Chain A
């Protein structure tokens, strides 16, 4: 029987949920509003919320001063490249762990996850040295590899969880029907796991898009994505809040739009297996 919830309770929870949502969203809203202010208004005290002279000059200045499109393009290449390569590596790995687990499979999964607990800065210096040694510092190759590797545990874990939900019978039926391992993964497993793979792809594109530690430390010009674009407004010209906000808005807009359109897929993927 469904539990009866009184209207008062419902109203309370609705208001509370909106309040929490707005608090979380507020910094982004503030950045968005600040990007339309003049520099003077951006630092005025008390701050003005909506009633100020709206201006788009910050966007013009930002676009003029730095090539937004090039950073955007780099972000697209790095996030998509690292995620797609990550998936190519992770699908067979997750298949093996889900369907032919060994005695130590659980340990391997935990070990993979444990690498996420290591502070990234701990391996920064070795990676910089390796990159310099091979002459790949500030290149797509380096960034895609590093981003792929840091997100790989999450990709494998997510896929592993989705694959566990697929009945083994169906894969065995494919084997009986004459499918090789490759056929089994391409024709049966992958199409059945599409919702899971799609949400893994989306989440990891978002993670790679927003990744700042490695992209800031391993790039200068050539491979610098939007995170570097924002950062270039923060350090030497720290006082220009309005321009920084405009740069930030431009940097987060694409991923925000992607997230907005794919939210259904994302939620479905993230709760896959949680609701029976």
Chain B
């Protein structure tokens, strides 16, 4: 079991309120991602759940029991840190075995668990090495191994991939997703990378300045963002926002259209938005065009595959009307 409930949980450092009172329900076995720009309080929220920070008010329940004042060691949660936080003076074997030793597990049983975890994580050949002799990816795997052997109620990940290079990040992302499928244990994952959030999560919690902006599945957030902030944060490249006359025509303060929901044409199309190509980014599979328009600013449009437009070329953009998002003056989505 591993359900976690936050009730009116808040956190202040001195006079500064980092997390205003918030409620959140995390179900057993769910992969929940906290995402938001830096300083939005996502790591603080994770540390409150871990018990590494004390809540200023409110209650944290783990499996229905009040754990607000329970020390981190007793919460039955395991955490993987951004810096890996391995014990530099211990071998990989001793690092992974450390939580078992602390729990007073029999040495023989512990050895079996360490061996099993090492084989799952491809660390068998490195068991006698010290963390200093491992690569970033291997260190991260050791940190995960240390978390697995405890068989925790939930795993907490604090930006675990941000110190890895891009290729390794994609690999580890897959490995963590596979791990979640194998273990079916609750996982809470903090990241500022919306791609990680979209690809891994069952449920995404979008945070801004400590407030929960929206909670939902990746596609719910993508298709029905609650407000302009979520609409802009989820999806890559970012959603285009247009204010003024075009928005007024849709009875909104602002409208949003994703780059992939615009059709691009090199020939004049009736009713389309006219513009000039500023920059074309060729990714092979897609081409992203940054197009200067007369009254709508710079718009980003995604075209599949190669598209023969260059800097300075005239073009016409036709937005998919059914995919236009409307926002009021406060940035809230108009239903």
Which residues of A approach B to under 8 Å, CB–CB? 167, 169-170, 172-180, 183, 187-188, 191-192, 194
Contact = CB atoms under 8 A, between A and B. Distances in A.
A43 B85 CA distance: 65
A179 B88 CA distance: 16
Interface in B51-92: 51-52, 71-74, 77-79, 81-83, 85-89
Contacts, number: 63
B103 A176 contact: no
Contacts of B173: none
Contact of B52 (A172, A177, A188): A172
23 contacts: A167-B83, A169-B81, A169-B83, A170-B85, A170-B86, A170-B87, A170-B88, A172-B72, A172-B81, A173-B79, A175-B51, A175-B52, A175-B73, A176-B52, A176-B72, A176-B77, A177-B73, A178-B74, A178-B102, A179-B73, A179-B98, A192-B87, A194-B89
A191 B103 CA distance: 20
Nearest to B47: A172
B88 A176 contact: no
Contact of B89 (A172, A178, A180, A191): A191
A176 B50 contact: yes
Interface of B: 50-52, 71-74, 77-79, 81-83, 85-89, 98-99, 102-103, 143, 146, 150, 156
B87 A176 contact: no
Nearest to A166: B88
Given A177-B150, A178-B73, A172 B102 contact: no
Nearest to B72: A175
A180 B101 CA distance: 12
A142 B223 CA distance: 77
A174 B77 CA distance: 12
A124 to B, nearest CB: 44
B150 A178 contact: yes
Contacts of B143: 173
Contacts of A194: 89
B245 to A, nearest CB: 52
B83 A177 contact: no
B89 A176 contact: no
Given A177-B98, A177-B146, A178-B103, A172 B85 contact: yes
Nearest to A193: B89
Contacts of A178: 73-74, 99, 102-103, 150
Nearest to B102: A178
Contacts of A176: 50, 52, 72-73, 77-79, 156
